[in-house]
Amino acid sequence: MERIYVDTNIYLNLFQGESGRWHNFADLAAHLFNKVKKGEYTLIISDWVIQEFSKKQDMQEIQKLIDDIPQKHIIQVKTTFQDKQKAREISTVNYPDALHVVLAMKSNAIYLVTRDSDYQEFSNLIEIRFPEEL
């Protein structure tokens, strides 16, 4: 089963009910997480995602989502000092996203799923995808 690391903005799309000009981002995020629940992908979730999420939404929301996914389809990853150092090495201007990239690579993610165009600077390190591309 392919491992995916989902950026914080996708969780926020889901819980904030966000829409774009042409797409309902909340629906696309829900569809992605349903694929994880069905076992089409293994979800990698980091303490960094949870930390960022908790600054904008209630932690209970993301915890409920995690609890609804069978544990065999989830890998939780913790940030280490070495991860933070590596993130600073790969980007001097975009540390938050660089840390997501480091954690995704550390966990052997095939894709980093995001809507954030800033990740293009990391496309040589990991494949970047939109939720609707999976």
Domain boundaries, the chain: 2-127
Q: Is the pLDDT of residue 20 over 80?
A: no
pLDDT tens digits for range 33-52: 999 999 999 999 999 999 99
b/e code 81-114 from CB counts within 10 Å (16+ = b): eebeebbeebbeebeebbbbbbbbbbbebbbbbb
Confidence of residue 19 (pLDDT cuts 50, 70, 90): confident
Q: Indicate the pTM of the whole model.
A: 0.93
Residue-level pLDDT at 18 = 74
pLDDT tens digits for range 91-112: 989 999 999 999 999 999 999 9
The total number of residues shown for the chain amounts to: 134
By C-alpha distance, which of 87, 14, 11, 24 is closest to 50?
Answer: 11
Q: Is the pLDDT of residue 7 over 90?
A: yes
Average pLDDT over the chain, rounded to whole?
Answer: 95
Residue-level pLDDT at 17 = 81
Asked if CATH classification 3.40.50.1010 holds for the domain at 2-127, the reply, yes or no, is yes
